[in-house]
Amino acid sequence: MITSKNLTFSYDKQNTILEQTNLSIPTGEFSLLIGPSGCGKSTFLKILAQLYPKYAGTISGSINLDNLQTAMMFQKASEQFTMATPREEIVFALENLQISREKYPTRLQQAVNFAGISHLLDQKINTMSGGEQQRVALAVLVAMDVDVFLLDEPFASCDPTTRKFLITKLAHLRDLGKTIFLSDHILSDYVGICDNLFQFRDKTIVKLKEKEKKLLLHTNDQHPTYSFSIPVHESSCFTFANTEIKQNRLLLSQHELQIIAGKTTLITGANGAGKTSLFEALTQMLPYEGNLTFNKQEICQLSPRKYLRQVGQVFQEATDQFINITVLDELNLSKKQRSDNFFTDQKIQQALVNLNLDQLLDQVVYSLSGGQQKKLQILLMLISNQKVLLLDEPLSGLDQDSALQVMKLLRQSQIDRKQTLLIISHELTNLASWCDYHLVLANHQLTYVTK
Amino acid sequence: MNPSFKFLLALIISLEISFESSLATNFLIISISIIYLLIKHVKLKNLLITLFAPLLAAVTIFATLYWFAPQPNLTNALSLSSRIYVYTLTIYCVAVDTSAEQMARSFEQNFHLPSKFAYGVLAALNIVPQIKQAIRQIRTAAMMRGIYLGFWSPTLYFKAILVALNSAENLAQGMESHGYHENATRSVIIKIPIKVSDWTISIIILLIVNLSLFILH
């Protein structure tokens, strides 16, 4: 049993995350932690991983880990690797734990089989997709064979199949006696697997009763089907003709395709299929072969300054989007770029209130939580008003309420300004019902589908 | 050859030729290095870059000592300017088939350098591509919001430094979460051995260099 007694944690005087929290987490079980973005889930996990208060904040009260060894997987997997390749990283971690050379091959094999990363073992980590990096990060923890697995939104960039696969695998680890403690915003696929559900409420964490847990998990476990139409004779915004996109390996080889102007198109596909690379090609960050045109003009020949004022992107990592320091600076910069009166000052203020960002105006953008950064990032890109907006996982790291608010804003802006939206997302619940078209990226091909 | 031995050898040779000037030895080392690099199949483009890049420094030294000196001495000028090439080429020989990982491991195991130094440097090297990517991304992000960041723009560097600081902080936590603790003992899974041949090759090379320094003085 991992227990906390009167645990209080704060980053600074105004910013208390946990207050007088008394909690016990059963060992050898599967526990899930939920709560709105920015409530302190990552912070709590880092306290359990004994990284805090060493690296940030002050703590009072006590936490008893029952002499168990813990290891944690971060929200941003990319920032957790010391070495260049998964194999090197696993060796590094095992050497740290003083594992002998004889035991190394079995540990490596276990980890590789667990996460299904044998094909990635010697690839450079910084060339992998977000979902692949998350799988590698998980593999390292499995190789380390610790008692307690602390996972901070471990499936945020994973496709639904990988997500399901990894949850089942984690359940198997639990059956072998490991303690699994993870945070997530999506509650599907946990029925029959999750033993304990913990929730952040008013700066403390409570364990939900069995009945509440079951109700919450069951209502969130529906896999509704969606239907989309196939575009016919509509004006296109992007046109592909014998287009090839490569990054280390061939990602896309598209004979012909049109992406429809003024509509919302959803793009899905497995981890590492090349969805983000497709966006990079569309924003001139990655070269392509063949033809790829925007309003009948070849994209690589357009001046980036003019082109990128028409085609914007909401990056997968929110911090990549920020240019200034505080929330207010960022807002003011976007306000300057307004080219229509859709976002009046009043409307922006309202949006800030709805997104729970209105109290954070003076805060440095990098000190916001993952979810707060995401919300701010999307608001900024909507204010700057591009004709085409590419959104890469706009809902990752957002709690249900925030996701709904973000969707409302996106949808309103799309309808009123006839924006073209291209959305990459694994999370379909809030999104799929109002997307016009659905493109699936598989076998290096983008194809319109009706389901 | 053992990476630490290679590194030490290059260091000793560089130090020796810094104290004892011998044009013939310099040229001997330069030609052997180039032959070694060619045997190792380095890309011709990389070799040419390595030969052209130090040219400015070499020419400057030569100019100072030969064209602008009150009593010009051709041998002396050539000897000093060719040193630049000894330094760059020997280090290139060290780097040519040694990865950063092997180097760090070797320093840790053979030289008993503190592991925080070895892995700190490695981790920092791994941030470099991230910083490059971040710079590319921030320029794109800025253009999307109507701002052009030229390479002279302070915002660009501010952002790059911010990314570096942020990554450094996260990396320290990342290392610890993967079981790394400063000053703790670590096991050795990938061993970097010191072979008899490492000693013999190093001694032979040092003997040749020293003999040539004395004889061809």
Whether the pLDDT of residue B199 is over 90: the answer is: yes
Interface membership of B189 toward A (CB under 8 Å): yes
Mean pLDDT for A393-411 is: 89
Mean pLDDT for A122-146 is: 90
* Contact check, Cβ <8 Å, A79/B171: yes
pLDDT for position B133: 82
User: Which of A75, A79, A145 would best serve as a mutation to test chain B binding (most B beta carbons within 10 A)?
Assistant: A79
Whether the pLDDT of residue A87 is over 80: the answer is: yes
Maximum mean pLDDT: which of A96-105, A242-251, A337-346 = A96-105
Mean pLDDT computed over every residue of chain A: 89
Q: Which of B133, B146, B179 sits opposite A96 (nearest CB)?
A: B179
Residue of A nearest to B156 (CA): A323
Q: Which of A46, A126, A323 sits opposite B129 (nearest CB)?
A: A126
Residue A279 Cα, gap to closest chain B Cα (Å)? 12
pLDDT for position B22: 87
In chain A, which residues have their Cβ closer than 8 Å to the Cβ of B105? none
In chain A, which residues have their Cβ closer than 8 Å to the Cβ of B160? none
Interface membership of B183 toward A (CB under 8 Å): no
Interface membership of B193 toward A (CB under 8 Å): no
* Contact check, Cβ <8 Å, B133/A319: no
* Contact check, Cβ <8 Å, B137/A98: no
Q: How many Cβ pairs within 8 Å bridge chains A and B? A: 140
In chain B, which residues have their Cβ closer than 8 Å to the Cβ of A126? 126, 129-130, 133
Mean pLDDT for A334-346 is: 86
Mean pLDDT for B142-153 is: 88
* Contact check, Cβ <8 Å, B170/A80: yes
Judge whether A226 and A428 are in contact, CB under 8 Å. yes
In chain B, which residues have their Cβ closer than 8 Å to the Cβ of A309? 143-144, 146
Give tens-digit pLDDT for B46-97.
999 999 999 999 999 999 989 988 888 898 899 999 999 999 999 999 999 8
Residue of B nearest to A305 (CA): B143
pLDDT for position A221: 76
* Contact check, Cβ <8 Å, B173/A51: yes
Interface membership of B132 toward A (CB under 8 Å): no
Residue of B nearest to A325 (CA): B159
* Contact check, Cβ <8 Å, A323/B147: yes
pLDDT for position B128: 83
Whether the pLDDT of residue A11 is over 70: the answer is: yes
Q: How confident is the model at residue A410 (pLDDT cuts 50, 70, 90)?
A: very high
Interface membership of B140 toward A (CB under 8 Å): yes
Q: Give the integer Cα–Cα distance in Å for A270 and A119.
A: 15
Give tens-digit pLDDT for A167-214.
998 999 999 999 999 998 888 889 889 999 999 888 899 999 988 888
Interface membership of B145 toward A (CB under 8 Å): yes
In chain A, which residues have their Cβ closer than 8 Å to the Cβ of B184? 96
Nearest to A30, CA basis, from A140, A194, A145, A157: A194
Q: What is the DSSP letter of B146?
A: T
Q: How confident is the model at residue A240 (pLDDT cuts 50, 70, 90)?
A: very high
Residue A201 Cα, gap to closest chain B Cα (Å)? 27
pLDDT for position B217: 66
* Contact check, Cβ <8 Å, A315/B172: no
In chain B, which residues have their Cβ closer than 8 Å to the Cβ of A333? 145, 147
Q: How far, in whole angstroms, is CA A327 from its chain's centroid?
A: 21
Q: Which of B172, B178, B184 sits opposite A93 (nearest CB)?
A: B178
* Contact check, Cβ <8 Å, B177/A72: yes
Percent of chain B scoring above 90 in pLDDT: 48
Nearest to A79, CA basis, from A401, A402, A431, A317: A317
Task: Average the pLDDT over each of A100-104, B35-39, B153-157 and give the range with the smallest value.
Answer: B153-157
Residue of A nearest to B148 (CA): A305
Q: How confident is the model at residue A422 (pLDDT cuts 50, 70, 90)?
A: very high
Whether the pLDDT of residue B39 is over 80: the answer is: yes
Residue B171 Cα, gap to closest chain A Cα (Å)? 6
pTM: 0.79
Asked whether this complex has an ipTM greater than 0.85, the answer is: no
Residue of B nearest to A48 (CA): B177
User: Which of A69, A83, A285 would best serve as a mutation to test chain B binding (most B beta carbons within 10 A)?
Assistant: A83
- Structure tokens of B115? 């592991």
Whether the pLDDT of residue B7 is over 90: the answer is: yes
Residue A215 Cα, gap to closest chain B Cα (Å)? 34
Whether the pLDDT of residue B170 is over 90: the answer is: no
Residue B194 Cα, gap to closest chain A Cα (Å)? 18
Percent of chain A scoring above 90 in pLDDT: 49
pLDDT for position A392: 92
pLDDT for position A226: 84
pLDDT for position A89: 94
Mean pLDDT for A415-441 is: 88
- Is A368 buried (19+), middle (13-18) or exposed (0-12) by CB count in 10 A? buried
* Contact check, Cβ <8 Å, B166/A380: no
Specify the higher pLDDT residue, A89 or B168. A89
pLDDT for position A442: 87
Mean pLDDT for B156-183 is: 85
Nearest to A49, CA basis, from A23, A28, A68: A68
* Contact check, Cβ <8 Å, A104/B189: yes
